[in-house]
Amino acid sequence: MKLKYEEWLSGQITNLHAKHLFNSGVTCYKASVYNAAMIMSYLGFMIAIKERLMVCNKPENFPERLWIDILKKLANEDNWENTVFDTLMMKGNNGKEPTDSRPPIFQISDSLRSQIRYWKDRRNDCAHNKDNEITSGHVELFWAFLQSNYHKISVEGSVGSLLNKFSRHYDTRYTKYGSDVDDLVKEIPLAVDKPDLEKFLEDIFKLAWNPFDWDLETNLCICILKLDINDITLELVKYLIRKDDLIYSIMSSFPNYIQIFYDQPYKIRNFWQTNLKRCRDVISVYAYLLRNQLIPPDEILEAHKLVVNLGRSNLNELDQETLKYFGYGEVLNDTLFKYSGPQRIKFWMFLNEKSTLYVQYLEFFDWHDESIVILYNNFVKDNFTPNKLIHEVKRMLERKPYLKDKLNKRFVDLKLSYPLCLN
């Protein structure tokens, strides 16, 4: 059974070395080897804090020489753990008689420093076989300490430092336009505390904003979502709900994020009823909804009838097979050929207005004989010829010659000659 602590680890810890140590601690705990569980968990904590130190800039007003010395010690495999602990204990005098006059690196309280010191002592109890017994309760209490306090341990001035990095990234005087922002995004959980997330996200999206190109904001969103850290994801969703156009841009490229924004059946229904049309690639998003059973079976026909007039002509193979499986092609057929009666002028206008959908039908779905006959009769008639549709079909057949052969064979089977207008 997965522990709640394991779920927290998967969402909070990004450093692979730290994650491996934390997971090893869990394995030891489940095997009732509590001394090893405590050591592994403590070392994971130290590695995670070391990572924060290694990626951040020097805190403002911190002595340059001392900072360089700390970084050198962190790179030394014999000294790094003591150095991490030492940096956590630095607190300055803060107007009091100092026990340590060095300026602080981390923005943490004296109470939190005392708790860290306590857990270091318990780690030493385990490592040196001291008489103090380590039980499952000790390990669980340390994990509770991590879950309550890990996010509070941030480097002094780290938010401002990271914001400056984003500012340079989105300034074309320093960085090529459209450069990958992924490495910067990975620093967010290391530098930004939960209370600062809302303001920080607003600030970096202002930097990424471009009225003529949403790709920068969209790519920034995707990189943040890929972190898969619950607090950051929730804060991002709150931000995006206020800018819903950006949500539809994200879903057009990555429909697998739909359930982050629409997490209840009624919200998903409202989305495809009212806002699916705002997505850049309607059909791919709709196919994702069908494929993942996000539309109840008794609502699929209703959804098909709504979406059929929103479709675009480009379908990948997976989306094509999905739509076929769920009967979309049949609804498309019924929609395209229901006006083929005596109202010739009305149907002629419909053929041209819906030329993209007719091309989609011929390119991606199974043909009905009676529908092919209707198209043939309209292709060869002398008046009210649907020239726009003929032009679009010709372009499609030139792009995919095998469909021209397939269409010609169907005409032969129906004892019809190939229309000259399609040559």
**Residue 273, pLDDT score:** 94
Strand partners, 282: none
**Residue 312, pLDDT score:** 64
Sign of CA dihedral 369, 375, 380, 384: positive
pLDDT in tens, the chain (423 residues): 788 888 888 877 777 888 899 999 999 999 999 999 999 999 999 999 998 888 777 887 788 899 999 999 999 988 999 999 999 998 765 434 445 556 788 878 889 999 999 999 999 988 877 777 889 999 999 999 998 888 778 777 678 778 888 999 999 999 999 999 998 998 888 778 777 889 999 999 999 998 888 889 999 999 999 888 888 899 999 998 887 788 888 888 889 889 888 989 999 999 999 999 988 889 999 999 999 999 999 999 999 999 998 866 578 889 999 999 999 999 999 988 876 555 556 787 888 888 889 999 999 999 999 999 999 988 888 777 888 999 999 999 999 999 999 999 999 999 999 998 888
**Cα atoms found within 13 Å of the Cα of residue 338, Cβ hemisphere only:** 6
Q: What DSSP element (H or E) covers 146?
A: helix 136-149
Distances (CA, A) of 106 to 58, 200, 418: 11, 19, 78
Question: Quick one: which of 81, 59, 56, 68 has its CA closest to 186?
Answer: 56
Question: Quick one: which of 249, 314, 326 has its CA closest to 288?
Answer: 326
Residues in the chain: 423
Phi-psi category of residue 307: left, alpha or beta, with phi > 0 → left and psi -120 to 50 → alpha: alpha
Residues near 5 by beta carbon (within 8 Å), at least 6 away in sequence: 26, 143, 147
**Residue 228, pLDDT score:** 83
**Residue 153, pLDDT score:** 83
Question: Quick one: which of 333, 262, 416, 356 has its CA closest to 273?
Answer: 262
Distances (CA, A) of 19 to 27, 142, 241: 12, 16, 32
